[in-house]
Amino acid sequence: MTECSTLLASVLAGESSRWTCREVSSDTVLLVTSHHYADGDTVELMVQTVGDEVIVSDGGEVLARLDSVGVNVDSRSRVGKSWKRLMAAHALEDDRGQLVRRASVEHTADLVQEMADAVANLDGLRLLAPVPRHPAFPERLTTYLEAEFPFVEPRAKLTGVSGSPYQVTAAAGSSEKQPVYVQTASGQNNAAQRSAVERCFTMFSDVNGRLPTERKLVVLDDEATPEWRPEMINLLSGVAYVGTWTARDQWTEFVWGSVPESRLMLPAEQPTLG
Protein backbone atom coordinates (compact mmCIF):
# COMPACT_ATOMS: atom_id res chain seq x y z
CA MET A 1 0.00 0.00 0.00
CA THR A 2 1.20 3.50 -0.78
CA GLU A 3 2.19 5.37 2.32
CA CYS A 4 0.90 8.93 2.33
CA SER A 5 3.83 10.52 4.11
CA THR A 6 6.35 8.93 1.72
CA LEU A 7 4.29 9.82 -1.31
CA LEU A 8 3.80 13.40 -0.20
CA ALA A 9 7.46 13.85 0.60
CA SER A 10 8.40 12.53 -2.82
CA VAL A 11 5.87 14.71 -4.66
CA LEU A 12 6.84 17.84 -2.76
CA ALA A 13 10.55 17.24 -3.25
CA GLY A 14 10.02 16.86 -7.00
CA GLU A 15 7.76 19.90 -7.04
CA SER A 16 10.25 22.18 -5.30
CA SER A 17 13.08 21.18 -7.61
CA ARG A 18 11.17 22.23 -10.72
CA TRP A 19 10.52 25.87 -9.90
CA THR A 20 13.08 28.47 -10.95
CA CYS A 21 13.05 32.23 -10.78
CA ARG A 22 15.10 35.08 -12.23
CA GLU A 23 14.85 38.84 -12.16
CA VAL A 24 13.93 40.47 -15.45
CA SER A 25 13.59 44.05 -14.23
CA SER A 26 13.70 46.01 -11.01
CA ASP A 27 10.14 45.05 -10.05
CA THR A 28 9.49 41.89 -12.11
CA VAL A 29 10.66 38.28 -11.98
CA LEU A 30 10.14 35.37 -14.34
CA LEU A 31 8.95 32.18 -12.71
CA VAL A 32 9.31 28.82 -14.42
CA THR A 33 6.66 26.72 -12.70
CA SER A 34 6.09 23.00 -12.35
CA HIS A 35 2.91 23.24 -14.44
CA HIS A 36 2.73 22.27 -18.09
CA TYR A 37 0.69 22.93 -21.19
CA ALA A 38 -0.69 19.95 -23.09
CA ASP A 39 2.34 19.84 -25.42
CA GLY A 40 4.73 19.60 -22.47
CA ASP A 41 5.88 23.21 -22.56
CA THR A 42 6.29 24.59 -19.07
CA VAL A 43 4.10 27.38 -17.77
CA GLU A 44 6.16 30.54 -17.20
CA LEU A 45 4.74 33.48 -15.27
CA MET A 46 5.82 37.10 -14.89
CA VAL A 47 5.36 38.37 -11.34
CA GLN A 48 5.48 42.10 -10.77
CA THR A 49 5.31 43.79 -7.39
CA VAL A 50 4.04 47.35 -7.24
CA GLY A 51 3.76 48.64 -3.69
CA ASP A 52 1.48 46.28 -1.79
CA GLU A 53 0.08 44.74 -4.95
CA VAL A 54 1.33 41.76 -6.90
CA ILE A 55 0.49 41.33 -10.58
CA VAL A 56 0.87 37.88 -12.12
CA SER A 57 0.81 37.58 -15.89
CA ASP A 58 1.35 34.90 -18.52
CA GLY A 59 3.56 37.28 -20.50
CA GLY A 60 1.27 36.91 -23.49
CA GLU A 61 2.11 33.23 -23.92
CA VAL A 62 -1.38 31.75 -24.17
CA LEU A 63 -2.66 34.01 -26.92
CA ALA A 64 0.62 33.63 -28.79
CA ARG A 65 0.40 29.84 -28.60
CA LEU A 66 -3.23 29.77 -29.77
CA ASP A 67 -2.62 32.32 -32.50
CA SER A 68 0.28 30.34 -33.92
CA VAL A 69 -2.02 27.41 -34.70
CA GLY A 70 -4.76 29.62 -36.09
CA VAL A 71 -7.15 29.60 -33.11
CA ASN A 72 -9.05 32.88 -32.90
CA VAL A 73 -10.49 33.47 -29.44
CA ASP A 74 -12.28 36.64 -30.55
CA SER A 75 -14.61 34.67 -32.75
CA ARG A 76 -18.24 33.91 -31.93
CA SER A 77 -17.47 30.24 -32.32
CA ARG A 78 -17.55 27.65 -29.58
CA VAL A 79 -13.88 28.34 -28.89
CA GLY A 80 -14.51 32.06 -28.48
CA LYS A 81 -17.36 31.46 -26.06
CA SER A 82 -15.35 28.94 -24.07
CA TRP A 83 -12.49 31.42 -23.87
CA LYS A 84 -14.76 34.03 -22.28
CA ARG A 85 -16.17 31.51 -19.80
CA LEU A 86 -12.75 30.27 -18.77
CA MET A 87 -11.47 33.82 -18.39
CA ALA A 88 -14.37 34.57 -16.06
CA ALA A 89 -14.08 31.29 -14.17
CA HIS A 90 -10.40 31.93 -13.43
CA ALA A 91 -11.03 35.62 -12.66
CA LEU A 92 -8.55 36.68 -15.32
CA GLU A 93 -8.13 40.12 -16.81
CA ASP A 94 -7.10 40.65 -20.41
CA ASP A 95 -4.42 43.34 -20.44
CA ARG A 96 -3.85 43.89 -24.17
CA GLY A 97 -3.57 40.18 -24.74
CA GLN A 98 -1.69 39.30 -21.58
CA LEU A 99 -3.66 37.29 -19.04
CA VAL A 100 -3.37 38.94 -15.66
CA ARG A 101 -4.44 38.59 -12.05
CA ARG A 102 -3.80 41.01 -9.23
CA ALA A 103 -3.95 40.71 -5.44
CA SER A 104 -2.29 42.04 -2.35
CA VAL A 105 1.22 40.78 -1.73
CA GLU A 106 0.26 38.33 1.04
CA HIS A 107 -1.71 36.28 -1.52
CA THR A 108 1.20 35.91 -3.95
CA ALA A 109 1.66 32.15 -3.51
CA ASP A 110 -2.02 31.36 -4.08
CA LEU A 111 -2.16 33.72 -7.03
CA VAL A 112 0.82 32.08 -8.72
CA GLN A 113 -0.64 28.59 -8.33
CA GLU A 114 -4.07 29.66 -9.54
CA MET A 115 -2.58 31.51 -12.48
CA ALA A 116 -0.52 28.48 -13.53
CA ASP A 117 -3.66 26.33 -13.47
CA ALA A 118 -5.62 28.93 -15.39
CA VAL A 119 -3.25 29.42 -18.29
CA ALA A 120 -2.84 25.69 -18.85
CA ASN A 121 -6.63 25.37 -18.95
CA LEU A 122 -7.03 28.20 -21.42
CA ASP A 123 -4.32 26.82 -23.67
CA GLY A 124 -6.29 23.57 -23.78
CA LEU A 125 -8.82 25.31 -26.00
CA ARG A 126 -6.63 24.17 -28.85
CA LEU A 127 -8.25 20.80 -28.23
CA LEU A 128 -11.62 22.30 -29.12
CA ALA A 129 -10.47 24.08 -32.23
CA PRO A 130 -12.08 22.86 -35.44
CA VAL A 131 -10.24 19.96 -36.99
CA PRO A 132 -8.34 21.34 -39.96
CA ARG A 133 -9.78 20.24 -43.22
CA HIS A 134 -8.69 20.38 -46.79
CA PRO A 135 -8.71 24.16 -47.12
CA ALA A 136 -11.27 25.81 -49.36
CA PHE A 137 -9.99 26.68 -52.81
CA PRO A 138 -9.61 30.45 -52.18
CA GLU A 139 -7.53 29.75 -49.05
CA ARG A 140 -5.40 27.25 -50.89
CA LEU A 141 -4.80 29.65 -53.74
CA THR A 142 -3.94 32.45 -51.30
CA THR A 143 -1.40 30.23 -49.52
CA TYR A 144 0.13 29.41 -52.89
CA LEU A 145 0.35 33.10 -53.79
CA GLU A 146 1.92 33.84 -50.41
CA ALA A 147 4.62 31.29 -51.15
CA GLU A 148 5.41 32.73 -54.56
CA PHE A 149 5.01 36.51 -54.51
CA PRO A 150 6.53 39.24 -52.37
CA PHE A 151 3.25 41.15 -52.28
CA VAL A 152 -0.06 39.46 -51.50
CA GLU A 153 -3.16 41.14 -50.15
CA PRO A 154 -5.80 38.55 -49.28
CA ARG A 155 -9.42 39.62 -49.77
CA ALA A 156 -8.40 42.77 -51.64
CA LYS A 157 -11.05 45.42 -52.22
CA LEU A 158 -12.12 46.84 -55.57
CA THR A 159 -14.79 49.33 -56.51
CA GLY A 160 -16.61 49.08 -59.82
CA VAL A 161 -17.54 51.93 -62.16
CA SER A 162 -21.08 51.42 -60.91
CA GLY A 163 -19.92 52.19 -57.38
CA SER A 164 -20.38 48.59 -56.26
CA PRO A 165 -17.74 47.33 -53.82
CA TYR A 166 -16.12 43.96 -54.51
CA GLN A 167 -13.77 41.69 -52.64
CA VAL A 168 -11.44 39.55 -54.73
CA THR A 169 -9.63 36.47 -53.51
CA ALA A 170 -6.29 38.30 -53.45
CA ALA A 171 -4.12 40.90 -55.09
CA ALA A 172 -0.61 39.68 -55.80
CA GLY A 173 2.55 40.65 -57.60
CA SER A 174 6.16 41.62 -57.31
CA SER A 175 5.23 44.72 -55.32
CA GLU A 176 2.18 46.58 -54.10
CA LYS A 177 2.42 48.78 -57.19
CA GLN A 178 0.07 47.47 -59.82
CA PRO A 179 -0.68 44.00 -58.49
CA VAL A 180 -2.81 41.50 -60.38
CA TYR A 181 -6.27 40.96 -58.91
CA VAL A 182 -6.92 37.23 -58.69
CA GLN A 183 -10.39 35.76 -58.29
CA THR A 184 -11.11 32.07 -57.85
CA ALA A 185 -14.03 30.26 -59.41
CA SER A 186 -15.12 26.84 -58.26
CA GLY A 187 -18.23 24.73 -58.33
CA GLN A 188 -19.13 21.10 -57.93
CA ASN A 189 -21.86 21.21 -60.57
CA ASN A 190 -22.86 23.17 -63.61
CA ALA A 191 -25.12 25.58 -61.73
CA ALA A 192 -22.49 26.38 -59.13
CA GLN A 193 -19.87 26.88 -61.84
CA ARG A 194 -22.19 29.19 -63.74
CA SER A 195 -22.86 31.22 -60.61
CA ALA A 196 -19.14 31.55 -59.90
CA VAL A 197 -18.41 32.58 -63.49
CA GLU A 198 -21.19 35.15 -63.49
CA ARG A 199 -19.85 36.67 -60.30
CA CYS A 200 -16.36 36.96 -61.79
CA PHE A 201 -17.74 38.38 -65.03
CA THR A 202 -19.85 40.97 -63.25
CA MET A 203 -17.01 42.09 -61.01
CA PHE A 204 -14.32 42.28 -63.65
CA SER A 205 -16.70 43.94 -66.15
CA ASP A 206 -17.60 46.57 -63.59
CA VAL A 207 -13.96 47.43 -62.92
CA ASN A 208 -13.16 47.64 -66.66
CA GLY A 209 -11.61 50.99 -67.40
CA ARG A 210 -10.33 51.31 -63.88
CA LEU A 211 -8.27 48.17 -64.19
CA PRO A 212 -6.65 46.94 -67.41
CA THR A 213 -7.30 43.36 -68.40
CA GLU A 214 -3.63 42.55 -67.78
CA ARG A 215 -4.29 43.00 -64.07
CA LYS A 216 -7.30 40.70 -63.84
CA LEU A 217 -7.05 36.95 -63.50
CA VAL A 218 -9.64 34.26 -62.88
CA VAL A 219 -8.32 30.92 -61.61
CA LEU A 220 -10.67 27.99 -62.11
CA ASP A 221 -10.65 25.09 -59.68
CA ASP A 222 -10.09 22.19 -62.05
CA GLU A 223 -9.35 19.74 -59.25
CA ALA A 224 -12.86 19.62 -57.82
CA THR A 225 -14.32 19.88 -61.32
CA PRO A 226 -11.82 18.80 -63.95
CA GLU A 227 -13.65 20.32 -66.90
CA TRP A 228 -15.26 23.70 -67.36
CA ARG A 229 -17.67 24.48 -70.18
CA PRO A 230 -15.91 26.30 -73.03
CA GLU A 231 -18.57 29.01 -73.22
CA MET A 232 -17.94 29.92 -69.57
CA ILE A 233 -14.23 30.29 -70.23
CA ASN A 234 -15.00 32.32 -73.32
CA LEU A 235 -17.18 34.66 -71.31
CA LEU A 236 -14.50 35.21 -68.70
CA SER A 237 -11.75 35.79 -71.26
CA GLY A 238 -13.67 38.84 -72.48
CA VAL A 239 -12.85 40.67 -69.26
CA ALA A 240 -9.87 38.85 -67.71
CA TYR A 241 -7.05 36.38 -68.19
CA VAL A 242 -8.11 32.86 -67.30
CA GLY A 243 -6.05 30.07 -65.79
CA THR A 244 -6.59 26.91 -63.79
CA TRP A 245 -5.13 25.48 -60.62
CA THR A 246 -3.41 22.58 -62.32
CA ALA A 247 -1.82 24.86 -64.92
CA ARG A 248 -0.67 27.38 -62.32
CA ASP A 249 2.86 27.56 -63.70
CA GLN A 250 1.41 29.43 -66.69
CA TRP A 251 -0.41 32.13 -64.78
CA THR A 252 2.31 32.43 -62.15
CA GLU A 253 4.50 33.93 -64.87
CA PHE A 254 1.62 36.19 -65.85
CA VAL A 255 1.31 37.53 -62.30
CA TRP A 256 5.07 38.20 -62.36
CA GLY A 257 4.40 40.46 -65.34
CA SER A 258 4.99 38.23 -68.33
CA VAL A 259 1.81 38.80 -70.34
CA PRO A 260 1.07 36.03 -72.87
CA GLU A 261 -0.50 36.57 -76.28
CA SER A 262 -3.58 34.55 -75.38
CA ARG A 263 -5.76 35.29 -72.39
CA LEU A 264 -6.25 31.58 -71.89
CA MET A 265 -3.65 29.83 -69.73
CA LEU A 266 -5.18 26.39 -69.54
CA PRO A 267 -4.06 22.78 -69.45
CA ALA A 268 -4.07 21.05 -72.82
CA GLU A 269 -7.01 18.81 -71.89
CA GLN A 270 -9.35 21.71 -71.12
CA PRO A 271 -11.63 22.24 -74.16
CA THR A 272 -12.09 25.77 -75.44
CA LEU A 273 -14.20 27.36 -78.16
CA GLY A 274 -11.11 28.60 -79.98
Partner 1 sequence: MPYVSLSGALARIPSGRRRSLINPGGLGQQERVGCRVRSDNDLAALILGETAGLELRVPMRWETRATTVRAQMGVHNAHSLPLLLGVQVLIPKPWKLTAYLMIYGQHLRRLDVNGSHGNRTGDREVWNERTHKHTFSEQDQDTVAYTPGDIPTIPTENVVGEHYRGAFEAFCGEQAIKLTGEYRWIDPVLPTRQEGTG
Which residues in this chain contact partner 1 in the complex, by CB under 8 A? 18, 20, 22, 24, 30, 32, 36, 38-42, 44, 46, 57, 59-61, 63-64, 67-70, 96-98, 126-129, 131-135, 139-140, 143-150, 174, 223, 245-246, 248
CB nearer partner 1, residue 149 or residue 201 = 149
Q: Is 78:86 a contact under the CB 8 Å cutoff?
A: no
Size of the chain, expressed as the number of residues it contains: 274
Burial pattern 151-189, b for ≥16 Cβ within 10 A else e, equals bbbbebebebeeeeebebbbbbbeeeeebbbbbbbbbee
CB nearer partner 1, residue 192 or residue 205 = 192
DSSP state of 106: G
What is the closest distance, in whole angstroms, from the C-beta atom of residue 126 to partner 1 in the complex?
A: 6
CB nearer partner 1, residue 135 or residue 230 = 135
220 CA to centre of own chain: 24
Q: Is 102:79 a contact under the CB 8 Å cutoff?
A: no
CB nearer partner 1, residue 160 or residue 243 = 243
What is the closest distance, in whole angstroms, from the C-beta atom of residue 226 to partner 1 in the complex?
A: 9
What is the closest distance, in whole angstroms, from the C-beta atom of residue 199 to partner 1 in the complex?
A: 23
CB nearer partner 1, residue 63 or residue 207 = 63
For residue 219, which of 194, 236, 202, 195 has the smallest C-alpha distance?
236
> What is the β-pairing status of strands 157-159 and 20-25?
unpaired
Q: Calculate the alpha carbon distances from 63 to 1, 59, 118, 197 in Å.
A: 43, 10, 13, 40
What is the closest distance, in whole angstroms, from the C-beta atom of residue 181 to partner 1 in the complex?
A: 19
What is the closest distance, in whole angstroms, from the C-beta atom of residue 136 to partner 1 in the complex?
A: 11
What is the closest distance, in whole angstroms, from the C-beta atom of residue 227 to partner 1 in the complex?
A: 14
CB nearer partner 1, residue 101 or residue 248 = 248
Angle, CA 227 vertex, CA 221 and CA 169 arms, to 5°? 20
Please, how many CA atoms are within 13 Å of residue 155, restricted to the half-sphere of its CB? Answer: 1
d(CA 85, CA 90): 9
What is the closest distance, in whole angstroms, from the C-beta atom of residue 239 to partner 1 in the complex?
A: 26
CB nearer partner 1, residue 128 or residue 273 = 128
